[in-house]
């Protein structure tokens, strides 16, 4: 039989004082691991939210559009906010239409204030060429949509439409940056995945030059997706996915470069110079 002997109780004249507890010392490696785990958990939860959003009827396309208009109104006023959200909608519908042409079921656009909008798809495109077509369809239709405020400005001379057209051109050109998860990064899947690192470097430089929480989020998401694809590059599935005929590569390159040049010209043409006397 085991015998347990309780600890001896100190005499009343000599009160027992417990030694101070020493805090557990964490190495730099443990701390970094904890931070990375927290970031990973955050994005895992964020991804789950994005998956569930289309199932919430209250968060429909029209509902999220109204929420976004209300949010952007705090900065620009409701008229410009409404025009900006409509241009976002046209851009996203380009993705929706092309996804359906590729035989992929896609949700209607859902809007997130100060983050833009996104389209949920049930599956990945069959190959990198299809992914590039889906990615470029947004800026293509979005650029066409920008011509509406552009021609209204030319007809009326109203600087409101000039500013709206400029913002739309900039929005679509920014999306052509060759980094995931932006549209330009999806185009690079069919051209040269090496360009993801070039685009990532450009985005890092832009984030340091113009600090912005949205840029940081894009960097984190883009970095995770780029690393995931880069690790899988040697698999047979990945190599088959990125095997694109030369003619299709040329077509994607022509659309990408031509669209980027056209949008840059549109921005230059609609640039509105402001002075202190205008404020």
Residue 199 covered by a domain: yes
Q: What confidence score (pLDDT) does residue 277 get? A: 45
Whole-angstrom distance, CA of residue 141 vs CA of residue 146: 9
Give a yes or no: residue 17 inside a domain. no
Specify the number of domains making up the chain: 1
Asked if residue 247 belongs to a domain, the reply is yes
pLDDT value of residue 72: 93
With bands split at pLDDT 50, 70 and 90, how would you rate the model's confidence at 59?
low
Domain that holds residue 193: 54-273
Query: Above pLDDT 90, what percent of the chain?
Result: 44
Q: Mean of the pLDDT values across residues 134-148?
A: 96
- What mean pLDDT do residues 83-107 have? 93
**Residue 68: per-residue pLDDT:** 93
Cβ-Cβ contacts under 8 Å for 3 (sequence gap 6 or more): none
Q: Please report whether residue 95 resides in a domain.
A: yes
Q: What is the pLDDT of residue 208?
A: 85
Structural domain contains residue 278: no
pLDDT single digits (tens) 7-43 = 444 444 445 454 454 444 444 444 434 433 443 443 4
User: What is the predicted pLDDT for the residue at 227?
Assistant: 85
Q: Is 37 among the domain residues? A: no
- 187 close to 136: Cβ distance less than 8 angstroms: yes
Confidence of residue 278 (pLDDT cuts 50, 70, 90): low
How does pLDDT run across 191-244, given as a tens digit for each residue? Answer: 887 888 888 888 888 888 877 787 888 888 888 888 888 888 778 888 888 889
Examine residue 46 and state whether it is found in any structural domain, yes or no: no
pLDDT, residue 276, reads: 41
How much is the mean pLDDT over the chain? 79
Asked which of 64-68, 160-164, 195-199, 266-270 is least confident by mean pLDDT, the reply is: 195-199
The pLDDT value given to residue 274: 62
Q: Summarize the confidence of residues 169-174 as an average pLDDT.
A: 95
Span 262-274, pLDDT tens digits: 999 999 999 987 6
- Asked if the model's pLDDT at residue 74 lies above 90, the reply is yes
Determine, yes or no, domain membership for 108.
yes
Residue-level pLDDT at 106:
85
């Amino acid at each position: 039989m085991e015998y347990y002997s309780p600890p001896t109780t100190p005499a009343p004249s000599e009160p027992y004082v417990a030694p101070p507890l020493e805090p557990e010392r964490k190495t730099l490696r443990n701390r970094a691991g904890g931070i990375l785990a927290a970031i990973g958990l955050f994005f895992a939860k964020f991804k789950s939210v994005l998956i569930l959003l289309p199932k919430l009827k209250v968060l429909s396309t029209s509902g999220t559009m109204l929420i976004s208009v209300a949010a952007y109104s705090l900065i620009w006023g409701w008229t410009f906010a409404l025009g900006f959200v409509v241009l976002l909608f046209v851009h996203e519908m380009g993705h929706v239409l092309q996804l359906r042409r590729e035989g992929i079921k896609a949700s209607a656009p859902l809007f997130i204030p100060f983050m833009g909008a996104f389209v949920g798809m049930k599956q990945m495109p069959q190959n990198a060429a299809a992914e590039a077509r889906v990615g470029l369809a947004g800026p293509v239709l979005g650029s066409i949509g920008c011509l509406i405020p552009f021609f209204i400005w030319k007809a009326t001379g109203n600087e409101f439409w000039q500013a709206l057209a400029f913002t739309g051109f900039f929005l679509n050109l920014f999306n052509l940056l060759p980094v995931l998860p932006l549209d330009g990064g999806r185009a690079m899947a069919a051209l040269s995945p090496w360009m993801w690192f070039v685009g990532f470097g450009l985005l890092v430089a832009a984030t340091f030059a113009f600090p912005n929480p949205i840029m940081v989020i894009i960097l984190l998401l883009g970095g995770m997706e780029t690393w995931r694809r880069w690790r899988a590059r040697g698999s047979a599935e990945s190599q088959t996915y990125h095997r694109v005929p030369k003619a299709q590569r040329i077509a994607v390159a022509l659309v990408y470069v031509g669209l980027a040049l056209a949008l840059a010209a549109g921005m230059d043409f609609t640039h509105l110079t402001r002075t202190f006397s205008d404020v």
